[in-house]
Structure 1
Amino acid sequence: MRGFFVTIRNWRTMTWPRSERAVAIGATLVVLLLCVTSGWDQWRARNLTLADNDRELASLASSIAEHTARSMQGAQLILRRTAIDQDVMRARTAPLQAATFLRKQIDGAPQLRELSIADVTGQLVATSEKSDYSHVNVFARSYFQRLQRANGDAIAISELVVSLLDHKLALPMALRLHDASDRFTGVVVASIELGYFRKFYEQIDLTPGTRIRLLGSDGEPIAGYERPPGIVGSDLRSVVHAVEGYPLKIEVARSNSMILAAWKATVFNVLTRSLLISVFIALLARFLIKQLRRVRQINEELRSSEHRLRTVFEHAPIGVVVLRGHRYIAANPAFQQMVGYSEAELKELHIEDITYPDDAYLTQLHTSELICGGATSVHFQKRYVHRDGHIVWTDIRSARIFPSRQAEHVRDVDQEYMMAAVEDITQRLEDERQRERLEQQLRQSQKLEALGTFAGGVAHDFNNILGAILGFGERALSLLEDGTPERRHVEQVMKAGERARLLVERILTFSRSGSTARVAVDVRSVVFEVIGLLRATLPDCIALEVQLDDEDLFVLGEPTHLHQVVMNLCSNAVRAMPEGGRLRVSLKRLRMDAPVTLSHGAASEGNYVQLSVADSGVGIPPEVLERMFNPFFTTRKAGEGTGLGLSLVDGIVREYGGAIDVRTEVGKGTCFLVYLPLTDALPASASPGGEPLPRGKGQVVMLVDDEETLVTLGEEVLAELDYEPVGFQSAVAAWQAFREEPERFDVVVSDQTMPDMTGLELVQRIRTLRPDLPVILCSGFSTVALEEAAREAGVLSVLHKPLSQADLARELERVFHSTSAH
């Protein structure tokens, strides 16, 4: 190492006194190089700035086009939903009812201003607007003419027109109405609210000087917004993106002057800095020329510099090596520790000897670029093979030191000196991969949470419908004799309703996290039950292997949830083996001594039960593996699956604090490993069933629900149970009746979600007059927050819709039993 630095010192001593002219030429070349590189960098910076702007505009246009498509799809869905409703058929005879129905259809759809129905002559027969429409006829509109000539459930989008109702600009979307013979009977027209799109554009955090416009198929603007200062003239860059499925386009434009404003300021700064550096180099060159005569003083400074360089070399925190050709001349302790070889051993090795074989060509390529290609330095990443065999990822910055005298005319790589700074980035790369996995899991969780909220809202409304179907179906079934065609028909209705109830339960299970109380569940008994059901339907070509631990394995949860997890995984495994194979189900206890990140979730330290479901089927392709836990994603044919199976499994496992690891190979099979945390709690014994329904003793029950059918059904059920029901379709009406006769009622059964007053608000008012009156709350979408709020308000219990007669009877019996006990 010392000999290397002596060589540097002697070469510098011989080179400096050659000529003062060499210093002047060198300074001139440096200034020229600085100017050229500065100009090149700024030219590249300008191109990069424009390219980044184009990518930003393209991404923004794509996102806005996607939002516009979803808005138009929402309007299209409302049109189709309106067209199939029976209220459309009664529009001419009952215009007021039709207007109310149309207003309900567009409620919650901010992109729609009004919804109208026109008959076959184009005359409006109903509209959601509260205005006179007797003079309005849309026969001349282009969309009416197109739909009149179309077939089936055709949809037409018009050009921008002035509404005949409110005389404002609107974008009409119309759906063809027809009878059973496909004869044209009219249209349903939705006016798209242009202000909705402008408000949406205003809410986007746009760069000043940016313009967004919604264009028609002919390129004419429909709606738009410009972020001040506005775009002036034609000096702009724009991106146009088509709205998929609709004759619309999104244009995003930005002024070139605004795009390049920051770049121009940078150019000025760079030019100023380059000028100052050039002046400094000129002054330095002059100073060096004057100092050439002071060789001895310079030599002393070089010796001092050699000492400092050696100190830095020996104590640098990153690896530093000196190479001559492909041989190691010197290596500091940091590099020796990095690769596991001493400096003496490295001097006997060739550079390729400790290079990872796949990176050998990369090393040769960059070395040749540095020596023969004229590059002053190179920067690249490569892998070394440590002495113990493990791989070390490094980041290398290498530069030539000086050419040998023989290489001044003919460059010989083996005679060139190079110095390289080598940084170990193995841990950093691993941390980056870990961060990417965690970010992907976070994005998945956020997507599931948003979709779960939407699913919960749909399930809430659907439960009210199911309550009426199952309730009246149960009553109709009890009135029919066995073996009659009518009873078979009603039984089929009940089976379909039960399937819908189970689907809603799946949606609710997916959408609400921690919304139900958990109990200790024996996982072995759940797996035994699923295996028993599976054996009865398993094809003969599939062999089933079961291996379960004998010890007790309890987790906090619900038996139904765990049953769904095991059954969904086993069902998917069977479908993955259409030609037959082997299905293996195992259950065992294991201990996590440290947190572990799995393919879908992370498991912290603790005791777990590992459920393994493996098949020898077709495997999972990478594009399916990435999306298979997404809600409503399925690879089956239409009508064969809901796409909620694996998303439900993922939601339940995450809710229970567990994780999933998926191991698959296309053509060889898949293994799902589910990890659930164990609990020391013991399961409670099951309560006996088959008891007769308890009945009342004439108690007066206030029944409140905004659904008329549910109120009617509830009154009939309560009357059969020997209670005196008093039904109300409005919480306000119920409160008025209670305020007039507070002592009349013995119990209140109220829905939670009602338009004028919620169930909890009604309870709070009732408590002001009768604090001791028992109250039962019903909800189609119960959450932990609702149950906690109900307990704070003094509600005895919260029942989940749809209610059965047995649930209501037992809950009322419990209410009056606990009241009499006190």
Structure 2
Amino acid sequence: MTAPSGHKTGLYARRAAVPPPRWRDVARQRGMLLALAISLLIAAWVAFSLLTLRQQSLESELRMLDALSSALAAQADGTLAVADTTLRATVDELAGGAIVPGSPHAQETLRTRASALPFRKLLVLDAQGLEVAASNRPVLAVASHAAATYFRHARKAGGAGLYVGLPQYVPGLDDPVIPLSRPWLSEDGHFVGLVVLLADPEFLDAGFARGAPTRDTGLGIYRRDGGVLSDGPGENSAKLLPPALSRALWEQPDPEAARIVEEGERRRLVAPRLLQRAPLLLVVTRDASAVLAGWREHARLVAAFVASALLVTLGLSLRNAREQQWRRANEAVLAAERERALYAFQAAREGAWEWDLATGETYMSPRMKELMGLAPDEPAPRGEALAALHGIHPDDVAPLRQAMQAHLDGRSAEFSFTLRVDAGAGAWRHVRWRGRSLRDGDGALSLFVGTAYDVSAEVAADQQARRLDDQLQRARRLEALGTLAGGVAHDFNNILAAVLGWSERAREAVAEGSPIARHLDHVLQAGRRGKSLVERVLSFTRSGARVRQPFRVQPVIEEVLDLLGASVPAQVQVRRELGAPDAVALGDSTALFEATMNLCNNALQAMPGGGELCITLAQKTVSEPRALWQGLLAPGPWLRLSVADTGTGIAAEALPHLFEPFFTTKGPQRGTGLGLAVVHGVVSDMGGAIDVHTRPGQGACFELYLPLAPQAVAMEAGDDSHVPRGQGQVVLVVDDEPALVELLEEQLAELGYEPRGFSDAQEALRVFTARPGEFDLLVSDQAMPRLTGVELAQRLLQLRPELPVLIATGFGGPDFEARAEAAGALQVVHKPLERAELARAVDRALRRPPPLGMNQRQKVG
């Protein structure tokens, strides 16, 4: 057979020139046999290669699924961490009394907390399963959760851990939700109630739709008992594992190892991952048949090629060479696609970048440019300039380069760095870079690739959690110090009461101008200074005598500045910006005067070399809840008083103790350490909050936020110089200090009353029970053994409801006046009392209308 010229060359042309077979035909036949044997060997080798490629495809897919399950588990753990932090903080505040179920403040706190979270709502249940507080509406008094699985689990388990329930229906919602709960336990470990977060069924698999490499990839989140928490976005129940298989994964020696499992005739690739925040198993699955679909197509092509090679033995070598070349190229493409698919998955959430270390060329995806503040058409910088983009914070450029170099030098296995990028308007975006270096066949570094994503929300959440924790620790420390200071003040007040009372009586008994009179005047002056010091201590503990009346704030601040003017050094400039002339607050104007004066004096002392003192007063409307340095700001109108200086600032180690009583940095001869404690007490008593801004060497700024009163109420001050006298009314005097009983008896007798004194409250109760109509007024100390003043008043009012009651105390504790009023006391006075103060207090108590009858006061706590 002769081929036309130009149509057949090489091997085909030589075949055509071969003479008819003779012995050479035998030799050629033997060659064909040899060629056939070689073909069979090659076919066997190709079959082995296909099996190897099949195994490589399965292993590559397992690695892909394992990386996906790891990322999804990290995301789910992050979501559970946010939920657990919220539940833990709510339980702690319930246990500590910061949240009182049923109060408007509790609902507002839950609403504020839930609005910042990706959940439906936040509930507080009591021990019977009834709602006592909710985040998005008033509680459903009739809605019972007692039969719910999460409630029964909390009562039965008795622990304090996070519990994640299966999707279910709960009272008040039409769609199923997943409950996340923490029990609310008392100090002795008894079950008080339950705090529950209600989440959408897909709250743990929100990122799966973006990260899934194929549509047939499945996701399941299982509990140890086989219960299914999630099957991925949408309806994917067909992709779930059977309960027996999901439970078997928990029992494996390494439950987080990706593997191939048999499910009858169905083979599936599974990549399990245990969650850290809850006993849950996240499993990413894919059918082996779907994974091998491409490989089967490839195998069919190779089989056809081998069959053709067996039939066409003459072209076996060329075709085999072409097949080998194609196979090598195909393996290289598959390997490159495998690596690119892995990096594409890692970059699917945000941006991707590459740096060719040999050429210096770099690549940034569109999302990467957006994260770094570059225009879409702006070229990526070359080489090391990648770590010095103009939008990166200057303080992060050098650390970023050091972290990249440490990874390239082999000093860190993985590269990960969070940097700040200019987001405009003075704000910074936090972006986390991650990546790794690749080496060529000779082991030399060739490529540096990685991903980047926005972690601003995560950083902000961590910072907010730290701020809230610091604020909680400060509040606990201040509360403990306040209790200690109040106890000391109580004992000191009893001593001062005797010193001032008897000194006052002795002063009245000696001639004016005598040496003894002068000595007694000094004693009285020292006693009054001691009384003033105790009042400052009690103002910190929020247990002193509080005046609660409306007053205009700006005139008070102007009075402070006018009084301060004479003591301001020449090198200090005072700038006032008072822009709230009609703003009215509710509280003690004298206390605010003292607090403002303390802040101004501290500012002046912080500027020994001169500077500027700026006092600002303005109204401010808060639109969203804010956590300040000390206290929380609810949305609404506020009055902001700012005292700022350009002095030395406050050292970092002093900030945690700033408002503690007796803490001072001025030395023992220059300060008592009560100035800022008084400021804290005054602002807290008025229902406000404090923010502090300072940097060493750059001054300090104290911002006091005071709630605005709805309107001013005119109040007339009484004439304190008038000392009213009695008309023989019988006064029952009770105090466990005999010296104070004797003093009060003498003072009341001189004022025209008939006192009957007792140092034993039980004896006073016995005498009053025998003759309840004989007494016109009760004057009792609060802190007494066996029977306190409030308890004594309650006993006496049961016998005679219209009896006026006056309680005297050196320290009653927080909210004592409200508790005393609820018990029936007309008035609370604070030790030590001078003669004129006692006269006015007794006169007011006798002139006021009688208290409510016991039938109207039985429910008062």
Question: Normalising by the residue count of structure 2, what TM-score does the alignment of the two structures yield?
Answer: 0.56
Residue of structure 2 in register with 1:352 after alignment: 385
Unaligned segments of structure 1, at least 5 residues: 1-15, 31-202, 206-268
Larger radius of gyration: 2
* Aligned match for 2:350, one of 308, 313, 318: 318
Superposed displacement of residue 693, structure 1: 2.1
1:357-436 matched pairs, under 5 angstroms: 359=396, 373=410, 377-383=414-420, 392-401=429-438, 403=440, 408=442, 411=444, 413=445, 416-436=446-466
1:35-434 matched pairs, under 5 angstroms: 299=330, 306=337, 313=344, 316-325=348-357, 331-341=364-374, 345-346=378-379, 349-350=382-383, 352-353=385-386, 355=389, 356=392, 359=396, 373=410, 377-383=414-420, 392-401=429-438, 403=440, 408=442, 411=444, 413=445, 416-434=446-464
Residue of structure 1 in register with 2:752 after alignment: 722
Superposed displacement of residue 715, structure 1: 0.6
Describe the SS at the equivalent of 1:629.
Answer: coil
Please say if 1:788 is aligned against 2:796: no
* Aligned match for 2:499, one of 458, 461, 469: 469
Describe the SS at the equivalent of 2:657.
Answer: coil
Residue of structure 1 in register with 2:554 after alignment: 524
Cα pair 2:724 2:839 within 8 Å, conserved: yes
Cα pair 1:514 1:655 within 8 Å, conserved: no
Residue of structure 2 in register with 1:759 after alignment: 789
Residue of structure 2 in register with 1:225 after alignment: none
Alpha-carbon distance in structure 2 between the residues aligned to 1:468 and 1:737: 26
Residue of structure 2 in register with 1:731 after alignment: 761
Alpha-carbon distance in structure 2 between the residues aligned to 1:477 and 1:361: 76
Alpha-carbon distance in structure 1 between the residues aligned to 2:849 and 2:643: 50
Describe the SS at the equivalent of 1:743.
Answer: helix
Describe the SS at the equivalent of 1:556.
Answer: strand
What are the superposed Cα offsets for residues 772-803 of structure 1, whole Å, 9 maximum, x if unpaired? 33322222223564433433433322222222
Unaligned segments of structure 2, at least 5 residues: 1-44, 60-186, 190-249, 262-268, 270-291, 293-297, 304-323, 853-861
Cα pair 1:513 1:655 within 8 Å, conserved: no
What are the superposed Cα offsets for residues 122-169 of structure 1, whole Å, 9 maximum, x if unpaired? xxxxxxxxxxxxxxxxxxxxxxxxxxxxxxxxxxxxxxxxxxxxxxxx
Instruction: Report the residue type matching 1:313 in the other structure.
Output: A
Alpha-carbon distance in structure 2 between the residues aligned to 1:691 and 1:383: 66
Instruction: Report the residue type matching 1:519 in the other structure.
Output: Q
Describe the SS at the equivalent of 1:632.
Answer: coil
1:438-587 matched pairs, under 5 angstroms: 438-512=468-542, 516=546, 518-538=548-568, 542=572, 544-549=574-579, 551-579=581-609, 582-587=612-617
1:596-675 matched pairs, under 5 angstroms: 596-664=626-694, 666-667=696-697, 669-675=699-705
**Is the alpha carbon distance of 1:485 and 1:623 closer, same or farther for their aligned partners in structure 2, counting shifts above 3 Å?**
same
Superposed displacement of residue 464, structure 1: 1.4
Alpha-carbon distance in structure 2 between the residues aligned to 1:588 and 1:488: 49
What are the superposed Cα offsets for residues 507-562 of structure 1, whole Å, 9 maximum, x if unpaired? 11111279845221221222233234333545566554444337222111111220
Alpha-carbon distance in structure 2 between the residues aligned to 1:362 and 1:619: 29
Question: Normalising by the residue count of structure 1, what TM-score does the alignment of the two structures yield?
Answer: 0.58
Most deviating of 527-536 and 436-445 = 527-536
**Is the alpha carbon distance of 1:204 and 1:637 closer, same or farther for their aligned partners in structure 2, counting shifts above 3 Å?**
farther
Superposed displacement of residue 465, structure 1: 1.3
What are the superposed Cα offsets for residues 712-732 of structure 1, whole Å, 9 maximum, x if unpaired? 011101111121111111011
Describe the SS at the equivalent of 2:806.
Answer: strand
**Is the alpha carbon distance of 1:717 and 1:323 closer, same or farther for their aligned partners in structure 2, counting shifts above 3 Å?**
same
Cα pair 2:542 2:681 within 8 Å, conserved: no
Superposed displacement of residue 421, structure 1: 2.4
Superposed displacement of residue 425, structure 1: 2.0
Alpha-carbon distance in structure 1 between the residues aligned to 2:403 and 2:693: 39
What are the superposed Cα offsets for residues 682-727 of structure 1, whole Å, 9 maximum, x if unpaired? 1433324155322222222111111111100111011111211111
Instruction: Report the residue type matching 2:430 in the other structure.
Output: W
Cα pair 2:583 2:639 within 8 Å, conserved: yes
**Is the alpha carbon distance of 1:722 and 1:329 closer, same or farther for their aligned partners in structure 2, counting shifts above 3 Å?**
closer
**Is the alpha carbon distance of 1:724 and 1:635 closer, same or farther for their aligned partners in structure 2, counting shifts above 3 Å?**
same
**Is the alpha carbon distance of 1:384 and 1:617 closer, same or farther for their aligned partners in structure 2, counting shifts above 3 Å?**
closer
Residue of structure 2 in register with 1:73 after alignment: none
What are the superposed Cα offsets for residues 251-276 of structure 1, whole Å, 9 maximum, x if unpaired? xxxxxxxxxxxxxxxxxx99975999
Alpha-carbon distance in structure 1 between the residues aligned to 2:662 and 2:342: 64
Alpha-carbon distance in structure 2 between the residues aligned to 1:387 and 1:764: 65
Cα pair 1:341 1:387 within 8 Å, conserved: no
Alpha-carbon distance in structure 1 between the residues aligned to 2:380 and 2:605: 61
Residue of structure 1 in register with 2:216 after alignment: none
**Is the alpha carbon distance of 1:318 and 1:533 closer, same or farther for their aligned partners in structure 2, counting shifts above 3 Å?**
same
Instruction: Report the residue type matching 1:708 in the other structure.
Output: P
Alpha-carbon distance in structure 2 between the residues aligned to 1:492 and 1:644: 24
Cα pair 2:781 2:789 within 8 Å, conserved: yes
**Is the alpha carbon distance of 1:521 and 1:327 closer, same or farther for their aligned partners in structure 2, counting shifts above 3 Å?**
farther
Most deviating of 601-610 and 371-380 = 371-380
Instruction: Report the residue type matching 1:654 in the other structure.
Output: S
Please say if 1:777 is aligned against 2:773: no
Instruction: Report the residue type matching 2:356 in the other structure.
Output: R
Cα pair 1:339 1:387 within 8 Å, conserved: no
Alpha-carbon distance in structure 2 between the residues aligned to 1:602 and 1:820: 39
Alpha-carbon distance in structure 2 between the residues aligned to 1:609 and 1:744: 52
**Is the alpha carbon distance of 1:307 and 1:660 closer, same or farther for their aligned partners in structure 2, counting shifts above 3 Å?**
same
Describe the SS at the equivalent of 1:613.
Answer: strand
Residue of structure 1 in register with 2:858 after alignment: none
Cα pair 1:340 1:388 within 8 Å, conserved: no
Cα pair 1:466 1:501 within 8 Å, conserved: yes
What are the superposed Cα offsets for residues 389-433 of structure 1, whole Å, 9 maximum, x if unpaired? 975433233234552x6xx26x3x5xx234312222233223322
Please say if 1:707 is aligned against 2:737: yes
Provide the identity percentage. Answer: 37
Cα pair 1:730 1:756 within 8 Å, conserved: no
Superposed displacement of residue 384, structure 1: 5.4
